Amino acid sequence: MHRLRSCSRVLSGCAALLAAAGLASLAALGPAAGAVASTPSSTSVCQPQVTIGVLPVWARAGFSGTAPRMAYSLGRDGKIAALLWGNPLLSPPAKTHRNKILWVSREPAVAGSDLQISAQRLNGSSPLGAPVARRVTGGPGPSIINLPAAGCWRLRLQWSGRTDTIDLRYSANR
């Protein structure tokens, strides 16, 4: 037991030294090193997160069940949900199902305000090719969103004076 406590103390001391050395090396690099730690979300790694489960309460309008379950992704800021009727999303689209996404705004959208989508395919956080634009006429609602290539796509969404971002994966249709 005594030997276990000694090892634990040594490991704790090593961890503290490594942490201090890391902080010292960041300080030596100057203010630019701090900027890396606070990188804005627009340059963060593309990470699509699809949940298959009960929809958030605010995204259930129009569903008959009390706890509807399906695939969905939430915007990073929680202002919008993408309900994935076409799951998985495919590029090119499948002949047997479409890339149908029902966009649900957490707050009511202004009538007549389209949902503007700027989609950028990413490799990690690096852009691949030019961004593509899509529009959902009338704002968040049902849509077919086809994108030109398989991969991780960052969608910047604008509607009714609001903005949010969602990362979605389009799988290769073979």
What pTM did the predictor assign? 0.74
Q: What is the pLDDT of residue 110?
A: 86
Q: Are the CB atoms for 155 and 117 separated by under 8 Å?
A: yes
- Domain definitions of the chain by residue range: 2-37, 46-172
Burial of 50 (0-12, 13-18, 19+ CB in 10 A): middle
Q: What is the pLDDT of residue 43?
A: 67
Return the CATH fold of 46-172.
Immunoglobulin-like (2.60.40)
10-residue mean pLDDT series, the chain (174 residues): 39 36 33 32 83 97 92 98 96 92 94 94 93 97 96 97 97 92
**CA–CA separation, 121 and 127 (whole Å):** 6
